């Protein structure tokens, strides 16, 4: 699924918790996309695309 800056998304953290937030920046590389997300719990995360829940 394609995401753009400003989209609200749900994503899974390494410890298994699920957070919600909005995308601030998308870094595209040859192998994957990295999303920089400001969560609604006031934390910022750097999340690979495979951890975003559709």
Go through the domains of the chain in sequence order and give each one's CATH number. Answer: 5-51 (2.30.140)
Residues 6+ apart with CB under 8 A from 39: 19, 20, 21, 45
Q: By the 8 A CB rule, do 8 and 22 touch?
A: yes
Model pLDDT, residue 1: 74
> Would you write out the chain's pLDDT as a tens digit for each of its 54 residues?
789 999 999 999 999 999 999 999 999 999 999 999 999 988 999 999 999 998
E runs forming strands in 1-54: 8-12, 18-28, 33-39, 44-48, 52-53
Nearest-angstrom CA–CA distance, 42 and 6:
16
Nearest-angstrom CA–CA distance, 42 and 33:
22
């Amino acid at each position: 699924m394609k995401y753009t800056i400003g989209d609200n998304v749900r994503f899974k953290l390494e410890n298994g918790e699920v957070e919600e937030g909005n995308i601030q920046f998308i870094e595209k590389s040859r192998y994957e996309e990295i999303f920089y997300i400001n969560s609604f719990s006031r934390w910022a995360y750097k999340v690979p695309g495979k951890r975003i829940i559709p």
